[in-house]
Structure 1
Amino acid sequence: MDSLSDTIWDVVICGTGLQQSLLALALSRSGKNILHIDPNEYYGGPEAAFSLQEAESWVATLSDPTNQNNAGNGGVFRAASITKPEATSPALKFSRSYSLALSPQLIHSRSELLAQLVSSRAHRQIDFLAVGAFFIFKAPEDLDHKAVLTRIPSTREDVFLSKAIPVKAKRGLMKFLKFVVDYDSEPQTEAWQPHADAPLTEFLRKEFTMEAELQTYIVTLTLSLDGRISTRDGLAIIHRHLSSMGVFGPGFTAIYPKWGGISEIAQVACRACAVGGAVYMLGTGIKSMQTGYSAEMELELELTNGVTVKTRRLVQTDEPASEKVVVSRLVSIIDSPLNSLFAAVVEGAQKPAVAVIAFPSGSLKTSAGKTWEFPVYVFAHSSDTGECPVGQSILYLTTPSITGSKEVLEQAVQSFLDAVSGEQVPHGVYQLYYEHLGGPAGSRTEGQVFKFPAASPSLSFNDSTLKVVREAWKEVLNEAATGADYMAFPDREGAVYDEEMYD
């Protein structure tokens, strides 16, 4: 501990969420003195993945009003609870058979994150899995029919083969898909820019005479949390979705890291920085900070373990914006593999481990009988993700958090299971519920302190996160950042690797 106090650290990074961990990866070959701490006893922060026992400890921590570490996940979680139906709980396996992701996110194949993981050589330690089909839940027309899941076509071939879309509607959808491919060039920009801030649904209706059901298909592909995405943002996301199709193989447009999603990337990034000489301390936060006590303008930090350290720069997470974005999340372990969801979309495609199901706005009701005005998204994960035992699966559900959201998510689980059931209806054997708050849009600097925005509850990874990480990297390196390669590292001398994942 004396050596910690004796060292003048170039940077202290507090938190091991994705942003902090990517910064650690970017600095891993810099030769800087790096102290990386986390008040939690685990890696990942708001992107962590938990065993069942860890989930129970986490819920207890959030529920304890005397606990000083309730902001250990960036202060973005609240109202957590666990439910285990007594009749089915014996189906649960041992605790570490599960890895429940707090913030599951899809990564589109064209994401800059993947390019940086490759150029930094970090991708070699991550197993990526295919995200398969996107489905729309359709409620039964009457008591004689069953609810169904309809796959959303996202290529021209899919549109031609779809039996769920009328011929006339197919023409409109084909026209839109062709438009999106070059949406950001003339003359397409002239068509959408007057509608840039209007809802995407309005643009689809006016410019493509698209009916409401087909609009729902398009909006679902954006994974918009409230279904009210703007034309500008919606077109950008749809373009990314379509241009990502087939990049790493036929039939899928996004990937998901095995063993807990984004948390796996965070841990790999931290390991790379540790190999580069950084010092790591879990279960250690910052108790107090003193500024300007020396001519060098170093910071003096008193850590929660009683040690005082000096640093030239501190990087930490900002507090979440008060009530800016709040979503309700429910994680449900299912006693069935749900095999019908994880079939390859096209011949020769990789078997997917994730499927996306959307309950469109208005398709569910609250316990009081009020129509739910927001979409509910379900990420179904097979045991291939490493997040549950063989023979089971996990559902991750998300919707905006207002009165009745928990009951709506529970209703969505049952409606989904009824739709996919065969001779036997699958059951939920474990349920983790919590609310996730959003953060400010950007970073900010206060003297020697750089603050990341709180983690976003978005369902797909947004590359804007990477811009903030690079800002922090420049702050830490200062003049040394000029002309330096960012996230581009040669192989470490003497290291032996398997064959490249990407050619």
Structure 2
Amino acid sequence: MDVDAVVFGTGLSESVTAAALSKAGFSIAHIDANTYYGGDDTSLTLDELVQWADQRASAPRDNQSTYISAQRKKYTSISRSSELVPQSRQYSLSLAPTIIPSIGPLIDSLVASGVSRYGGFKLMERLGMFDRPGVVRSVPSSKEDVFKSKELSLVDKRRLMRFLVFAAGEFESATELKGKENVPFFNFLRDVFSLDERTARSVAYGLAFCVSAQDPTLSALQRLRRYSKSVGRYGPSAFLVGHYGGIGEVAQGFCRTSAVSGGTYVLGRRLLSVSSLKSEDNSPSGRKYVIELEDFPDQLACDLIISSPDYISTELFAHASAVMTSTPSLLGTPSEPYPVARCIAIIDRPIRFCAEASATRAAANADAPSGEQVLPEKIATGEVDTAFLVFSPSSVPSGSTTAAVHMLVTGEGSMSAPSGKWIVYISRPLLGDDEYSSSAEELMRPYLDATLSLTTSASDVAGASPAQPLFTLFYIQQLPPSPASTDATSTTLVTPPATSLISELADAATEQAEKIFWRAAELLNASRKSEDAKKVEVESFWPPLDVIEDEPNLEEW
């Protein structure tokens, strides 16, 4: 089989790239050793997740594939519950839990490519900061939130509003920022805008999604501005959560678009070899690479390879080129990804985002008509179906003192769990060498316990125990090796992770895919030297969509 390019891995970055190249007119073969789409971004049923974990935790075997060998190095310290839960096939569990800003490269690509019609999203309901067991603090992100807050003094409200107005504007040339672009954002908030420590922590970790107190100011401001502009596009939250587990389903939508445009898909086949042919080898096809797959009758011949790091052999790796996003990113994405300790848990009691009872009652009464008091039983329970929680550094005993930890919960409303069940994802950045001496479970258990403390409420019987998880999986996701070369003429392009930040993962992968697309289009057109090989004219990342009569507005998904 003769194609222009072969893409290995169906993660989001590779899938967006394959769809864009196919729609532009290039011939693509898209290969994945797994029997499912999504690669490291996939969504799995509970049975599939257990199989995935057991395969990577098992002892290495002789003659194992390059892909499985790389996966075992990437996913370490794996431990899981021995019991499975009923209705296991009704869960969609993500290996890459992600919240998607309503304005950004992924949403733009979903609309421009037409992939939006293949999936659905749920608006994230709540965003909070963990305060102490059983108590979540709200994060004021708008004028209305600041006005209603009972935790802020009048002076603090004025200071916070002044900052929010500044952060929403064109701050790059502002005198407040001049010379302070790289100072720690937390210090910037306190020194320049005189925010108290509690408010500064809410802004840095709850609004700008800083990973640590050392995150630079400019990138944090860029993220915060984009998130604030995302509020209102589809509702009162800045973020969306994908149905059926998240970006794994989104990646599959891009694969579908590629297939509709002529892309060839081969799943569940082991890569046996990749041969690089020199011009003097006189390949019958004239192509640069020949690829062999297990139990696949045809060899694949191509001029360009685009691959996740896990498929690249040692020999090919030496000549590969890494395609990175621009640094610093226009998105405000942290320039360096980091290893992450992860926990996935299934629970059968809802998480409640509740403040202290007195504060909750005061807030409810403040919203009531003049002279009326809201009865305690009418105060909202705080139960959430799809929500995001931030643990700032040192907020949990035995937790990290340097890194912010993120928790995402999804339930029936996001099509990821059966009724009465919820999936909890906890992600802890590993920023220090001392954290590698502990197992994933030891690193994550304090945060899981803190999360489970939110399953009790003031109306529960005194001394009621928090929920116990029905299933847990703990593991550490290491960084894959990345080629040192960024040679623009290399015809083996590798897609290392662009970021590990949960709020930026999807957009950074899409931004990376666009950069790969333009590099690939240039290389493929340069390889068409014969008179019969017509170059493909590429004017944009996504060509205009064909208009279909009576089709609903693509933005109304």
Alignment check: 8 A CA contact 1:365 1:408 kept: no
Change (3 A) 1:313 1:303: same
Alignment check: 8 A CA contact 1:37 1:285 kept: no
Alignment check: 8 A CA contact 1:383 1:393 kept: yes
Q: 1 CA distance for matches of 2:95 and 2:388?
A: 17
Q: 1 CA distance for matches of 2:97 and 2:269?
A: 26
Change (3 A) 1:238 1:46: same
| One-letter code aligned to 2:495 | F
Alignment check: 8 A CA contact 2:185 2:214 kept: yes
Partner of 1:263: helix, strand, or coil? helix
Which residue of structure 1 aligns with residue 374 of structure 2?
Answer: none
Kindly indicate whether residue 359 of structure 2 is the aligned counterpart of residue 318 of structure 1.
no
Kindly indicate whether residue 341 of structure 2 is the aligned counterpart of residue 328 of structure 1.
yes
- Structure 1-normalised TM-score? 0.86
Which residue of structure 2 aligns with residue 15 of structure 1?
Answer: 9
* Aligned mate of 1:77, from 67, 72, 75: 75
| One-letter code aligned to 1:421 | T
Structure 1 unpaired stretches of 5+ = 1-6, 140-145
CA RMSD of aligned residues (A): 3.0
Deviations for 1:186-242, whole angstroms, at most 9, x for unmatched residues?
4x2x32131211210111111012222111101222223344311011111111111
The within-5 A match list for 1:95-106 is: 95-106=88-99
Kindly indicate whether residue 62 of structure 2 is the aligned counterpart of residue 58 of structure 1.
no
Alignment check: 8 A CA contact 2:129 2:202 kept: yes
* Aligned mate of 1:125, from 95, 115, 118: 118
Alignment check: 8 A CA contact 2:25 2:536 kept: no
Which residue of structure 1 aligns with residue 359 of structure 2?
Answer: none
Kindly indicate whether residue 147 of structure 2 is the aligned counterpart of residue 160 of structure 1.
yes
Percent of aligned pairs with the same amino acid: 24
Give the total of aligned pairs: 472
Kindly indicate whether residue 404 of structure 2 is the aligned counterpart of residue 414 of structure 1.
no
Q: 2 CA distance for matches of 1:55 and 1:441?
A: 30
The within-5 A match list for 1:359-378 is: 359-366=391-398, 372-378=401-407
Alignment check: 8 A CA contact 1:299 1:448 kept: no
Q: 1 CA distance for matches of 2:474 and 2:129?
A: 23
Alignment check: 8 A CA contact 1:136 1:217 kept: yes
| One-letter code aligned to 1:312 | D
| One-letter code aligned to 2:404 | P
How far the C-alpha of 1:23 sits from its partner, in A, is 1.0
Rg (Cα) greater in structure: 2
Which residue of structure 1 aligns with residue 156 of structure 2?
Answer: 169
Which residue of structure 2 aligns with residue 299 of structure 1?
Answer: 289
Which residue of structure 1 aligns with residue 109 of structure 2?
Answer: 116
Kindly indicate whether residue 512 of structure 2 is the aligned counterpart of residue 468 of structure 1.
yes
| One-letter code aligned to 1:327 | V
- Structure 1 window deviating more from structure 2 (237-246 vs 438-447): it is 438-447
- Structure 2-normalised TM-score? 0.78
| One-letter code aligned to 2:200 | Q
| One-letter code aligned to 1:302 | E
How far the C-alpha of 1:51 sits from its partner, in A, is 0.9
Q: 2 CA distance for matches of 1:400 and 1:229?
A: 13
Alignment check: 8 A CA contact 2:287 2:302 kept: no
Q: 1 CA distance for matches of 2:141 and 2:337?
A: 32
Change (3 A) 1:184 1:483: farther
* Aligned mate of 1:434, from 475, 481, 489: 475
* Aligned mate of 2:221, from 231, 235, 257: 235
Deviations for 1:108-134, whole angstroms, at most 9, x for unmatched residues?
111121111111111011111101222
Alignment check: 8 A CA contact 2:521 2:538 kept: no
Q: 1 CA distance for matches of 2:20 and 2:289?
A: 22
Partner of 2:269: helix, strand, or coil? coil
Alignment check: 8 A CA contact 1:379 1:397 kept: yes
Alignment check: 8 A CA contact 2:208 2:223 kept: yes
Partner of 2:176: helix, strand, or coil? helix
- Structure 1 window deviating more from structure 2 (278-287 vs 459-468): it is 459-468
Alignment check: 8 A CA contact 1:45 1:74 kept: no
Change (3 A) 1:79 1:340: same
Q: 1 CA distance for matches of 2:496 and 2:148?
A: 44
Q: 1 CA distance for matches of 2:265 and 2:473?
A: 30
| One-letter code aligned to 1:294 | N
| One-letter code aligned to 1:311 | C
* Aligned mate of 2:273, from 273, 280, 288: 288
- Structure 1 window deviating more from structure 2 (440-449 vs 170-179): it is 440-449
Alignment check: 8 A CA contact 1:378 1:397 kept: yes
How far the C-alpha of 1:9 sits from its partner, in A, is 1.1
Partner of 1:428: helix, strand, or coil? coil
Q: 2 CA distance for matches of 1:236 and 1:442?
A: 28
Which residue of structure 2 aligns with residue 46 of structure 1?
Answer: 40
